[in-house]
Amino acid sequence: MRLRKKKWASPLIKEYTGVFVLENAMLEKEIKINQINALEIGAGKGGFIVGMAKKHKNVNFYGIEQNQSAFALCLKKLINEEEQLSNVKIIRSDVNDVIELIKDESIDTIYLNFSDPWPKSRHHKRRLTYPLMLDKYKRILKKEGKIFFKTDNELLFNDSIEYFKEKEWHFINVDYDYQLDKDDVMTEYEEKFRSMGNKIYRLIVSKER
């Protein structure tokens, strides 16, 4: 569902740039290889990244979201947290532009949550799990780095398994009826899908064994 444009979004983003909001030019200095870094691609309204940052305070979480309204809602969540989170930064940009600026082998974990399935064959190249994207993830992930991929779309899930196989990723877990584990957090979409009785699919892969 397309979010309505928020008139307050742009001034709020400007106000918090340098606090919670990172501009692309800040990325190179911000992400340090000797720290534990996680990247959520498609942070949406922020439920997942905020929840994970509260649960895992030793990890630096970076969220990418292109849609301004969703980005602003994510930012509002961060601002309104009772305990200010110093381990979350969000970037409003296209994922391809952001990845180009991230150092080699600097990310420990990538989260892909309920990405657009792009069901038409001619649009498959836009999928966040498409082989061209997997090459980009391999560059920025540390040797022991992992991808956690969740979706409610079985076709996308099965296609993604084939993409990961093609690029010789190492499979840790393939779950066709994923029940939330204690280290995980539901996204807003996941809460909705689970309330409707939809199955959730999750895949965990690693760059190396």
Asked if residue 1 has pLDDT above 60, the reply is no
pLDDT of 193 higher than 90: yes
At 45, the pLDDT band (50, 70, 90 cuts) reads: very high
Record the pTM. 0.95
Is 60 exceeded by the pLDDT of residue 86? yes
Scan for tokens 């080699």, then name that residue: 104
Backbone angles phi, psi at 149, to 5 degrees: -120, 120
> Which superfamily, per CATH, for 9-206?
Vaccinia Virus protein VP39 (3.40.50.150)
**Domain ranges for the chain:** 9-206
Cα separation values, 181 from 54, 78, 156, 184, 195, Å = 16, 24, 22, 6, 17
Tell the burial category of 74 from Cβ atoms under 10 Å away from its Cβ (0-12, 13-18, 19+).
Answer: buried
Between CA 60 and CA 208 the distance in angstroms is: 22
The pLDDT score that the predictor gives to residue 42 is 96
Separation CA 43–CA 134 (nearest Å): 18
pLDDT digits (tens, 9 = 90+) for 24-37: 989 888 999 999 99
Question: What is the rounded end-to-end Cα distance, in angstroms, of the chain?
Answer: 38
